[in-house]
A = this chain, B = another copy of it.
């Protein structure tokens, strides 16, 4: 997805220049994993023209394997992204109807080839939201992944502009049966599945630990998830957030809360995806649950300081922050 953004804090109605980058839920996760040194393959469909090629180049630049990307269709989706500050929230205007991926057909993807030798499959709730054919594609992918013994994670990522809650619930209920690791925030769980904790006002900027434990357990109970990660954002303003997460291990029945970071935000978009990327990396490389959630939260804390959708940090940088040095001293 093309990401177009005015410079600094300009609004579109006054802008004459844009930053031209690329992003999107699954792409962002792929870049995170590639930056950590894993072999990350990104699957989508992109038009054959120069803008599609620029998207491919952007992924290759950060070492994502683009050989499985199908080329064709007419257009690539666009996210017009306006950066917020203080009391003004960021605004995303999506223009992705009729994109090549949205208009792709199941036959575009040969999942058996794609999953050959793979260890992990990640998708987000944004993809099935693009239309029924995408729900089918996700189901095909999940089934093939299961057949190849590939673990599956899903970030619920509800987008109200793309589908209704009813549509989301139906599709995601179907797809979640294949999922091993579910990533959510309280809003998603409520919007998609109607699962909510009592006595928590997510807009109040206060974290209710018991509430989150309740949500995670309900999710795991309903879909049989192995693990449920819930990100806990305290949105004080568009410039300052509190940021932490909880990982619930349903097998061991353990709740792991990470430390909390006070973020001064450079770029908020992609923050959730960077958590997913960090978590998958941590689980794939055998870290324990507590370390995994710490790694994932530290990864996404760093993402909030990086321009663009992609999380441009190394595993060593994440480890260092997870180990406790958040003082921001110059490294020289």
Query: Chain A: residues with CB nearer than 8 A to chain B?
Result: 4, 6, 8-21, 49-51, 53-54, 57-58, 60-63, 74-75, 78, 80, 82, 84-95, 97-98, 159, 161, 203, 205, 235-241, 261-269, 298, 301-302, 304-308, 310, 312-313, 317, 321, 325-332
Contacts and interface: CB of A to CB of B under 8 A. Distances in A.
Contacts of A203: 325, 327
26 contacts: A4-B20, A8-B307, A9-B306, A12-B51, A13-B50, A18-B19, A49-B93, A50-B91, A50-B93, A51-B80, A51-B93, A51-B95, A58-B61, A60-B60, A84-B305, A84-B330, A85-B266, A87-B301, A87-B305, A87-B321, A89-B329, A90-B330, A159-B332, A205-B327, A235-B328, A238-B329
Contacts of A313: 88
Contacts of A85: 264, 266, 305, 328
Given A4-B20, A87-B321, 11 more contacts: A9-B306, A11-B50, A13-B312, A14-B307, A49-B93, A50-B80, A58-B61, A75-B97, A94-B332, A237-B328, A238-B328
Contacts of A19: 16-18
Contact of A269 (B14, B86, B92, B330): B330
Contact of A237 (B239, B262, B312): B262
Nearest to A89: B328
A265 to B, nearest CB: 7
B91 A332 contact: yes
B51 A62 contact: no
A85 B163 CA distance: 36
A310 B50 contact: no
A49 B12 CA distance: 10
A61 to B, nearest CB: 4
Contact of A265 (B86, B265, B325): B86
B236 A327 contact: yes
Given A306-B11, A312-B13, A329 B235 contact: yes
B13 A87 contact: no
A12 B53 contact: yes
Nearest to A303: B88
Quick one: which of A10, A58, A89, A98 has the most chain B CB within 10 A? A89
B18 A17 contact: yes
Which of A54, A82, A269: most chain B Cβ within 10 A?
A: A54
A9 B302 CA distance: 12
Contacts of A321: 87-88
A270 B269 CA distance: 28
B331 A90 contact: yes
B239 A13 contact: no
A95 B75 contact: yes
B87 A237 contact: no
